[in-house]
């Protein structure tokens, strides 16, 4: 047997654990990497001894022997977007508590990057959390059949998910604007491949129709602050008195450009964002936006995923969760003006409209807008 002083001078090995437990090294390895293949009494004794010795298996060796890496991939569409900061914090903390490390992947708003990186790095992680996936429903469902995963901000049949209910927040935003007297409202849309973007638009159309309000869709726009100038110009050309932006970054960019054009917010135009990112309450004016428990979404996604990964866990009937969203009212929304703001020449052309199948809008492809008439206009 090895001298105890010599053993204390180096990290414990699997052989040390096996020797102390009185079992073969292969049995110790199975107990720690594939617990279901070892009887409970032996497994518990080996786990206790491993903890006493401070044994920590080499992740690469563990991957080779067990097929498990001990890592979880967390995919975000833009790592610089503050919306993902809380998701990443939530997944990181919950994964650490569950004994996993986090592999962070930036897909750069590309469904092709997302699919390619998942397959290229497959041996490096045990499961994946996809935050705001840009994959199609079919591609996402196919992927879920191939590997353990959880999608955040997505509801696709057969795919475990944590959904942040921003469509209900969109309805609250419309009702807030209607209460302030707004009768013509724009939805400033995000990426064409964004699933939440379409779900918010459907909620927007339903809410505006319920209140007999004219609805206009503008975009798509990149969900970045730099796209705010083009989005603001499109809003000024749309003959509306309020706009709901796809996210806070876009809304903050709009506020900055509107100020440079001499448009007063909210006296001339009301703006609503989404996500309540850090800084949304610091901009000028502070942004009215939709608030959600974003860090909790990350934590909950990890819980759903680890339930899939742990062979000792009982099968769970819970494969999906919905987290509520509420409207946080600040100074960027106010009473509707008597007339829409005067439009000056736009600095950039607005993008083309995104075709939709859930409404029958009248469209003007040249202006990049899509208008859903109110009930009064239809009657006329």
What is the CA 174 to chain-centroid distance, rounded?
Answer: 22
Q: Which DSSP state fits 112?
A: H
- Confidence class for position 28, pLDDT limits 50, 70, 90: confident
In the predicted structure, residue 131 carries a pLDDT above the cut 60: yes
Place of tokens 């080996």: 46
d(CA 104, CA 234): 35
pLDDT tens digits, one per residue of 253-289? 999 999 999 999 999 999 999 999 999 999 999 999 9
pLDDT tens digits, one per residue of 178-232? 999 999 999 999 999 999 999 999 999 999 999 999 999 999 999 999 999 999 9
Residues present in the chain in total: 380
Place of tokens 């709901």: 244
Three-state DSSP class for residue 243: strand
Other C-beta atoms lying within 10 Å of the C-beta of residue 193: 18
In the predicted structure, residue 120 carries a pLDDT above the cut 70: yes
Three-state DSSP class for residue 288: strand
With pLDDT > 90 as the criterion, what percentage of the chain qualifies? 67
The CA dihedral of 225, 227, 231, 234, to the nearest 10 degrees, is 160
Q: Which two three-digit tokens encode residue 266?
A: 């909210």
Average pLDDT over residues 16-31: 86
Judged by average pLDDT, the poorest of 113-117, 307-311, 351-355 is: 351-355
Asked if residues 185 and 201 have their Cβ atoms less than 8 Å apart, the reply is no
Three-state DSSP class for residue 173: helix
- Confidence class for position 317, pLDDT limits 50, 70, 90: low
Q: Which two three-digit tokens encode residue 284?
A: 């000028």
d(CA 210, CA 221): 27
What's the longest Cα–Cα distance across the chain?
95
d(CA 283, CA 280): 6
CA distances from 118 to 210, 348, 376 (A): 42, 36, 50
């Amino acid at each position: 047997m090895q001298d105890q002083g010599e053993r204390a001078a180096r990290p414990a090995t699997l052989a040390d654990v096996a020797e102390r437990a009185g079992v073969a090294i292969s049995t110790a390895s199975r107990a720690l990497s594939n617990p279901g293949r070892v009887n409970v009494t032996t497994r518990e004794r080996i786990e206790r001894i491993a903890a006493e010795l401070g044994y920590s298996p080499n992740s690469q060796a563990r991957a080779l022997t067990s097929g498990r890496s001990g890592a979880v991939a967390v995919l975000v569409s833009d790592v610089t977007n503050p919306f993902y900061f809380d998701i990443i914090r939530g997944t990181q903390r919950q994964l650490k508590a569950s004994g996993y490390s986090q592999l962070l992947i930036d897909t750069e708003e590309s469904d092709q990057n997302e699919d390619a990186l998942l397959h290229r790095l497959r041996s490096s992680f045990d499961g994946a959390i996809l935050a705001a996936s840009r994959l199609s429903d079919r591609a996402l469902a196919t992927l879920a059949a191939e590997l353990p995963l959880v999608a955040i901000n997505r509801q696709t049949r057969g795919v475990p998910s944590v959904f942040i209910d921003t469509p209900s927040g969109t309805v609250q935003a419309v009702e807030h604007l209607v209460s302030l007297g707004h009768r013509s409202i724009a939805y400033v849309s995000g990426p064409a491949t964004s699933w939440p973007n379409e779900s918010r638009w459907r909620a927007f159309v339903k809410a505006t129709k319920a209140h007999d309000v004219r609805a206009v869709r503008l975009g798509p726009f990149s969900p970045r602050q730099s796209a705010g100038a083009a989005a603001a110009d499109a809003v000024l050309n749309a003959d509306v008195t309020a706009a709901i932006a796809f996210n806070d970054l876009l809304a903050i960019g709009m506020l900055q450009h509107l100020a440079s054009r001499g448009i007063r917010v909210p006296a001339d135009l009301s703006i609503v964002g989404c996500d309540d990112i850090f800084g949304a309450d610091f901009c000028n004016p502070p942004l009215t936006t939709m608030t959600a428990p974003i860090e909790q979404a990350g934590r909950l996604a990890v819980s759903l995923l680890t339930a899939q990964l742990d062979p000792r866990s009982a099968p769970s009937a819970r494969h999906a969760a919905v987290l509520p969203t509420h409207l946080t009212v600040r100074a960027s929304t106010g009473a509707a003006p008597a007339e829409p703001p005067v439009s000056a020449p736009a600095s950039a052309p607005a993008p083309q409209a995104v075709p939709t199948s859930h409404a029958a809008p009248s469209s003007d492809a040249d202006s990049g807008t899509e208008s859903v008439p109110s009930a009064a206009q239809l009657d006329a």
